[in-house]
Amino acid sequence: MKIAMGCDHGGIVLKPAIVAELQKRGIEIADKGCFDGESVDYPDYALKVAESVASGECDKGVLMCGTGIGISIAANKVKGIRAAVCHDEFTAQMIAEHNCANIIALGGRIMSPETAAKLVGIWLDTPFGGGRHKNRIDKISAIEDKYFK
């Protein structure tokens, strides 16, 4: 598996712990930046990661900003992306099981690096539930087909 990572200055604090978690699992990482704490614009990194997942270059993505919210909103503008913010163990499980999220979005100003790494692990370990959830994902895809050019 190959995972794309991207963050802004608000999320970079989470990166080392998440990289360690992914490396422990033998997952290849494509780090799309940023690479220091200088103020940057989160949509730039959301786009890099979202495009790498939508194109198939990477299987999934991890995005980090101050809250996880802005960077997930931006990533979801790319067709085929289901970027989901999670805050705790339950929501980390749900974004995989119910929402088939192909990008997890986390906030460096709302959780510790250790919590973020744990949530990434839960997201990766939880299979998509399929069934009724698949029907709902298909309806999201239909909305994309209607509105994305």
Residues binding ligand RB5 (CB under 6 A): 8, 10, 42, 65-67, 69-70
Q: Which residue in 7, 34, 65, 100 is the catalytic one? A: 65
- Whether 7 sits among the annotated catalytic residues: the reply is no
Cβ of residue 114: shortest distance to ligand RB5, in angstroms? 20
- Whether 86 sits among the annotated catalytic residues: the reply is no
Pick the closer one to ligand RB5 by CB: 69 or 137.
69
Pick the closer one to ligand RB5 by CB: 28 or 41.
41
Cβ of residue 146: shortest distance to ligand RB5, in angstroms? 27
Q: What is the DSSP string of the chain?
A: -EEEEEE-TTTGGGHHHHHHHHHHTT-EEEE----SSS---HHHHHHHHHHHHHTTSSSEEEEEESSSHHHHHHHTTSTT--EEE--SHHHHHHHHHTT--SEEEEETTTS-HHHHHHHHHHHHHSPP--THHHHHHHHHHHHHHHH--
Pick the closer one to ligand RB5 by CB: 43 or 129.
43
Give catalytic residue positions. Answer: 65, 98
